[in-house]
Amino acid sequence: MPATVVIGAQWGDEGKGKVVDLLAERSDVVVRFQGGNNAGHTIVADGETYKLHVIPSGILYPDTLCVIGNGTVVDPGGLCREIRGLEERGVDLTGLRLSGNAHLIMPYHIMLDGAAEMRLGRFSIGTTRRGIGPCYQDKAARIGIRAQDLLDPKILVRKIEIALDAKNEVLERLYQLPRLDPAKIASEQLEYADRLRPFIGDSSLLIDRALRAGENVLFEGAQGTMLDIDHGTYPFVTSSNPIAGAACTGAGVGPTRIDRVLGVAKAYVTRVGEGPFPTELDDADGRRMIERGREFGTTTGRQRRCGWLDLLALRYAVRLSGITELALTKLDVLSGFPVVRVSDEYETRDGERLSELPYHQTVFHGCRPVYREIAGWDEDIEGCREIADLPRNALAYVEAITEAVEVPVTLIGTGQGRADVIDQVGR
């Protein structure tokens, strides 16, 4: 598996952390390539739960290099806290690297994220309020602060002054918030710089060398396809590209270097935040998914909206990322439903049947899912590790998905723990 991209095929929280941790055992390098600490990737290893936000999910393996790539946005204070939290639990962080080109989330980005959401009122996106959108805005506006700026105090203060010049007007006049002092922010950031300095470097070069040496490199996506700023349910999306193509720009490798794309999908669907979600359930089935799946956000603690598996959205994800295989997580959560449903088609407000996701938001907002029913299974499959041990109906469910999306399911999640998986990858 020389170069494998792992991405979320739905609306995030598909179980990418668990899958990356699993594959990281056989990887030399794991690279996060987009997003920031809006992500929450959970790993349950040996009964211990780790919630990672920007540090790659290979960090529990001391010999694996964990790179925070140039396409990410990094909150220096948040990263320092994440490092400390892991160190306190005995995790070795010597393998951590931070791209000098990664953009930094500044305190004003967090303030502006919250203020913009308040101003949008009932039209708000339901962001994680971690400053992700405003930070990517500054990157595109070319007034962003990068990790490498932490290494040059003079440049750092100058750049913060330039960025704050217009922002202080916005903070004060538009949002009635206090103006910020660039020197104070710079000195705060320089304290973090002391901690982060040893990790900062040229990550693209490091990855290139690893690939040339024939090492296994894993690219870890955050969020999910339907939250993609170009292809997701805009404007209810995040401000980066969680699809596989972004691994190239966000890590600094060419597309010819990528060998495999593993899409991670839950056996059902969840979404946090606002925005359309055709298969959403507001009934006992949805509540059962919340309870059995413990569907509460890793980063913000918000309850996740739950619904049946949407095959149109999954096929869309396969198309956008060139997914070569799927990891289907949380199949154990569906045990005990008399029937399980998958949406094969949508019906529009005009009664038209669609088998592909419509590009137009007005059409999409009006779509209702057309379900296919598949007989459920009662057996508890938690911890099941062999495909042969799956109940017949559970297997039929997996096969129905494989057939509909035309890519094989090579991993099946059967519980939270690292070992709770049917792993066909190496077979």
Whole-number minimum distance, CB 30 to Mg ion, in Å? 16
Residue 34 interacts with ligand GDP (CB under 6 A)?
Answer: no
How many residues bind ligand IMO (CB under 6 A)? The answer is 23
Of the candidates 35, 36, 40, 275, which one interacts with Mg ion according to CB under 5 A?
40
Q: Which stretch binds ligand GDP (CB under 6 A): 36-44, 98-106, 124-132, 344-352?
A: 36-44
What percent of the chain is helix, strand and coil (3-state, nearest 5)?
A: 40, 20, 40
* Least Å from the CB of residue 298 to ligand GDP: 4
Distance CA 3, CA 377 (A): 37
> What CA–CA distance (Å, rounded) separates 295 from 307?
11
DSSP assignment of 109-150: HHHHHHHHHHHHGGG------SSHHHHHHHHHHT---BGGGG
The interface partner of residue 332, options being ligand IMO, ligand GDP, Mg ion, none and the CB cut-off 5 to 8 Å by kind, is ligand GDP
Instruction: Enumerate the active-site residues.
Output: 13, 41
Nearest approach, Cβ of 341 to ligand GDP (angstroms)? 19
Q: Which stretch binds ligand IMO (CB under 6 A): 220-228, 248-256, 282-290, 341-349?
A: 220-228
Tokens at 180, concatenated: 């910020």
Site stretch for ligand GDP (CB under 6 A), options 41-49, 237-245, 347-355, 394-402: 41-49
Q: What is the DSSP string of 25-49?
A: TT-SEEEE-SB-TT--EEEEETTEE
414 binds ligand GDP (CB under 6 A): yes
Q: Does the protein bind ligand IMO through residue 13 (CB under 6 A)?
A: yes
C-beta neighbour count of 379 within 10 angstroms: 14
Which of 22, 218, 333, 390: binder of ligand GDP (CB under 6 A)?
A: 333
Q: Using an 8 Å Cβ cutoff, are 67 and 33 in contact?
A: no
The gap from C-alpha 340 to its chain's centroid, in whole angstroms, comes to: 26
Q: How far is the CB of 41 from ligand IMO (least distance, A)?
A: 6
Using N-to-C axis directions, what is the helix angle for 182-196 and 107-120, rounded to 10°?
120
The answer to the question of residue 320 lying near ligand GDP (CB under 6 A) is: no
Residues of this chain, 259-298, that bind ligand IMO according to CB under 6 A = 272-273, 298
End-to-end CA distance of the chain: 13
The residues that touch Mg ion, with contacts defined as CB under 5 A, are 13, 40, 298
Residues that bind ligand IMO (CB under 6 A): 8, 12-13, 38-41, 125-128, 130, 132-133, 222-224, 227, 238-239, 272-273, 298
